[in-house]
Amino acid sequence: MVEDKVRICFIGCGHHSMESLQPAVTLIPQIEYVAACDLIEGRAKEAVRRFGAKKWYTDYKEMISEVSPDGVIIVGPPQMHEELGISCLNRGLNVFMEKPPSLTLEGARRICEAMKASGKICMVGTHWRHMPIHRALKKISEREDFGEIFRLEATYLAPDTRGAWGQPYAWGFMLNQAIHPMDCLQFLGGRIAEVEARGIVVEGKKLAISASLHFASGSIGSFVLGGCSPIFYERVGIQGTEGWVEAEQFKKLKYASRKGWMESTDPTAIQTLAFEHGSHYRGVSRPGYVEELEHFAQYIISGSHPHADAEDAYYALKTLDAIIRSVNMEEKILVN
């Protein structure tokens, strides 16, 4: 447990690190940015100039030895997340790594084992669950007047036309894109026990996957993915016995309850409450980046375990792997 500031180092100063995560750190008072590391010296120096890192390095082991941070933020390709993440956990450091944690389920499992053996925090950058709009979705669904949750849904379209990081198209899409809505569904509805999916996957031309989900809680769900899309589109919804709530495009929320919120002269009227982020949202790039790193810092300070860790990311990938196997085998697949 630390006092009131978390001493953080970045390992990896590429595009995503410099345009999304490092700018987010400057908005978090609990984080003291002590050092940046990149194999390319100029990138590490740029982090010092732009974001206030106190030192720069090209060797992460040298940096850790000299600076002794409370935690590291690792941003690079998946192979780097796995190798350096395990190395830093073994050195007794708290770790935040970008998604995906690994190219393989086995690699993601190894990270979970290293996290548990170290007793330290290891978070993966599945930022959808940290977005204010999805936090609001969860808060509403947990209200007593929402009733029992029995159905969840997510639809996600993304422009990827080929498999990320040289992977087969479907698995690369899962690693790069689908891990986000899947982890968000886990955040809202718990772990998924069984899937049944159908799909069309042609690299460079089309990707469409539709999956029926059975949650361990007894709820059911639908999960729809589209690749080769001209746009990004995101929608997540929850239905309870007394209410319905939906988030769209990371900033719009609609909520309806059986009770309504005003007296109506028309018994057939639909009473829906709506919310939308305004222009003064403090985030960087997309919502969720500031909030996930805030979560990381807060739980290092408190000494307790966060609600999002490497095991959540592992189970999200495990469920996505089951969906691909269901598409290929045309049958139901048990996730565990």
Strand 220-227, strand 233-240: pairing: unpaired
Q: Two tokens at 5?
A: 């500031």
Mean pLDDT score, 125-150 = 96
Show me where the domains of the chain are located: 6-126+289-309, 129-281+315-334
Contacts of 329 (CB under 8 A, 6+ apart): none
> Would you state the pLDDT for residue 277?
82
Backbone φ and ψ of 92, nearest 5°: 85, 25
The pTM is what? 0.94
Better-predicted residue by pLDDT, 240 or 3: 240
Better-predicted residue by pLDDT, 300 or 263: 300
> Would you state the pLDDT for residue 267?
73
Judge whether 236 and 154 are in contact, CB under 8 Å.
Answer: yes
Query: Tokens 């330290």 label which residue?
Result: 120
pLDDT above 70 (res 1): no
The architecture in CATH of the region 6-126+289-309 reads: 3-Layer(aba) Sandwich (3.40)
Q: Does domain 129-281+315-334 have CATH number 3.30.360.10?
A: yes
Distance in angstroms (rounded) separating the CA atoms of residues 181 and 224: 10
Local structure of 81: helix, strand or coil: helix
Mean pLDDT score, 31-42 = 98
Distance in angstroms (rounded) separating the CA atoms of residues 160 and 164: 8
pLDDT above 60 (res 2): no
> Would you state the pLDDT for residue 264?
72
Distance, first Cα to last Cα, the chain: 34
User: pLDDT tens for residues 49-75?
Assistant: 999 999 999 999 999 999 999 999 999
> Would you state the pLDDT for residue 3?
67
Mean pLDDT score, 320-334 = 98
Q: Where does the pLDDT of residue 269 fall: very low under 50, low under 70, confident under 90, or very high at 90 and above?
A: confident
Better-predicted residue by pLDDT, 222 or 263: 222
Strand ranges of the sheet holding 94-97, from the earlier edge strand across to the other edge: 55-57, 31-37, 6-11, 71-74, 94-97, 122-124
Judge whether 176 and 160 are in contact, CB under 8 Å.
Answer: yes
Distance in angstroms (rounded) separating the CA atoms of residues 123 and 88: 13
Helix H or strand E encompassing 267:
none
Query: Tokens 């720069």 label which residue?
Result: 56
